[in-house]
Amino acid sequence: MIRLKNEFKPLFEPFTFPGGASIDGRLVVAPMTHFGSHDDGTISKDEIDFITARSSEMGMVITACANVTPDGKAFEGQPSIARDEDIPGLKKLASAIQAKGTKAIIQIHHGGSQALPHLVPNGDVVAPSDVFKDGKQIARALKEEEITHIIDSFKEAARRAVQAGFDGVEIHGANGYLLQQFYSPHSNQRTDQWGGNEEKRLAFPIAVVDAVKEAIKEHAAKPFIFGYRLSPEEPETPGLTMTETFTLVDVLKTKSLDYLHISLMEIGSKARRGADSNKTRMELLKERCGDALPLIGVGSVITAEDALHAYNQGIPLIAVARELIVDPDWAKKIKEGREQEIETVIKRSQKDKYLIPEGLWSVMEASQGWVPMED
């Protein structure tokens, strides 16, 4: 019988978060949009099958982002955590992941200007500031009381996550969604307490962090994993650079988070602006965070060697997404010393074995090359 090779053993070493919770390994299922929930946002069997098929031998699973308010819905088939009626389905999802011996984390989210008009009440898309495209308004600026309501909705979402039995929650502050829209000088043109200078643009994301933290304190009876996902740079000018990200990280370091999840297409990509462009973003953020705030790295981790290389760069936790869509047994094969058998291309002729929700399959077919496929 082939066994886990010594060189890959570090990937399966236990890890304890600053808040006291532990996981059994360093590999993480990254949050993947699966387009598989029911139209009303409740959890479907398809998405449970998809996620649990990919949960074995992973330290923890971060679910697809769940919207905290009806006007934050940004995907067809997005799971909802906006109502108490969502809790029974969420409970099934958490239990199914945990049955694989893996910790279950739910990512909570608001799409802001990226919410889809046909999925939100009255097509009323909201954002920090008015958004126009081709001379047409596609999102309107949030009113003060609506901002307060969304902050409270993140808090309520965290309560529901605890009540549904999840082991933790991750705030989605990345990929151009609402929290990032507030912090970015590109998308936030407000002149009130929620915009203007850097500190005021930071007010909304930090208020969400504080609200979620409060919910965890009020409702969790045991250590509950609390993470935050961010995108370190934006392409626009003005836009977020590493300089603004360092400011954000410095504040998040004071908030008793368990981890920061750095959203990248390439885990080894180098900084563009606002820092030493000879260094990777992960290196720079590791220097900034020290050992106080653990990092999760993600982006084009395909092979066991890719994951090990990231770990050897000082990244304690490595998330995998696209490669797990292609090979659900990715971690299991590494654990069993069969890493040479890892598949890197989806075979259309074997569609059923992948347990991929129909909506995700359609997206993969439409965006050729995003996930490698062949007949």
- Best CA proximity match to 54, nearest among 326, 279, 265: 326
> Residue with structure tokens 């993470």?
227
User: What is the number of other CB atoms lying within 10 angstroms of the CB of residue 45?
Assistant: 12
Is the Cβ–Cβ distance between 113 and 177 less than 8 Å? no
Tokens in use for 290? 């020290």
Distance (Å, rounded) from C-alpha 89 to C-alpha 109? 18
Cα 179-297-345 angle, rounded to 5 deg:
110
What number of other Cβ atoms are within 10 A of residue 55's Cβ?
22
What the block records as the tokens of 362 is 């359609």
Show the tokens assigned to 346: 């989806």
Please classify residue 318 by burial: count the beta carbons closer than 10 Å to its beta carbon, then call 0-12 exposed, 13-18 middle and 19+ buried.
Answer: buried
d(CA 152, CA 150): 5
Q: Are 76 and 120 in contact (CB under 8 A)?
A: no
Separation CA 212–CA 21 (nearest Å): 17
Tell the burial category of 280 from Cβ atoms under 10 Å away from its Cβ (0-12, 13-18, 19+). buried
Residue identified by tokens 């304190």 is 217
Q: Could you give the 3-state DSSP secondary structure of residue 102?
A: coil
Instruction: Tell me which of 177, 228, 259, 311 is the catalytic residue.
Output: 177
177 is catalytic: yes
Positions marked catalytic: 177
